Amino acid sequence: MSALLRIERTSPLHSLQDYGRVGYSRFGLCQAGALDRFSMDWANRLLGNPAGQAVLELSGGGFVAVFSARQSFAVTGAYAPMTLNERSLLPWRSYTAEAGERLLIRGPSAGNHVYLSVAGGFVAPATLGSVATSLRDGLGGVHGDGRALMAGDVLVLAAQVVPDQAVPRSGLPNYRLPLSLRVHPSYQADEVDWSGVLSAPYRVSKNTSRMGVRLAEGPVIRAPAMEFSEPIALGAVQVPPDGQPIVLMNDRQSLGGYPKIGCVWVDDLYQLAQRRPGDWVSFVRESATTPRSF
């Protein structure tokens, strides 16, 4: 049995995402996928969905949708006011909607991206093994054409109901705290004066997107010039001519010619994705043998 989720209001920043297309950068395609995989994984875990099940990434709020049948769903990520038929909801929990109930998610008070999952998952055509929306490449999404959600879209659901659950309070992220980004140094790192890089924080710039998080108002990084382009990994820290770093995210280009001082640990990237323009972040230089803490 299937159900429907009818989209009444949405924005160009709302899309269907999973883990993305891994292994296709050599063809010039971007990875796409959820920017905050920690929140995405919890959204699925609350419902008993398999890891990597597609979710809706709702950036900036302004989302309204109606369930056609009884359906369990979960909301994680940014902290945003939400209602289900005028009943207030809390994030980082799962709920059960009845047929005809309307879900409204407003703009977040902390964080950037809300993740909405449904029990059993969304039904969408996969391209190159993924339904992740890539606007640049015209791949993935609800209809497989790479566009963002639009009012009037109808998403097919599995129509499953599971017991309601909540993430323990001790496990909830705090997006208001200053963030330290652990960086694995690159082969160019020894030519950079790290004492200046680590001595002061940077602000997240308003010129930030799914392609990369631009940082500003921090120490100017003097990195060696490059004479060629090379592949770019997720989390790479590029240094453009103005010396203010850019942390490359899921929709990054496959090749780049700016020098790279290192790569941010992936679990720190999920926190970075939730930081808003004006928030403070800093860099911590780590070795490849430093043990992780989750």
Q: What is the model's pTM?
A: 0.94
Of the pLDDT bands very low, low, confident and very high (cuts 50, 70, 90), residue 288 is low
Q: Spell 121-154 as b/e; 16+ CB within 10 A means b.
A: bbebeebbebbbbbbebebbbbeeebbbbeeebe
Mean pLDDT of 35-60: 97
pLDDT at 290: 52
pLDDT at 294: 36
Residue 261 pairs in a beta bridge with none
Average pLDDT over the chain reads 93
φ, ψ of residue 289 in degrees (nearest 5): -100, 0
pLDDT at 105: 98
Which distant-in-sequence residues (6+ apart) come within 8 Å of 209 by Cβ? 249, 251
Question: Which pLDDT tens digit goes with each residue over 196-249?
Answer: 788 789 999 999 999 999 999 999 988 888 778 888 999 999 999 999 999 999
pLDDT at 293 over 80: no
Question: Which pLDDT tens digit goes with each residue over 273-286?
Answer: 999 999 999 999 88
Q: Are 259 and 197 in contact (CB under 8 A)?
A: no
pLDDT at 38 over 90: yes
The single-letter DSSP state of residue 219 is P
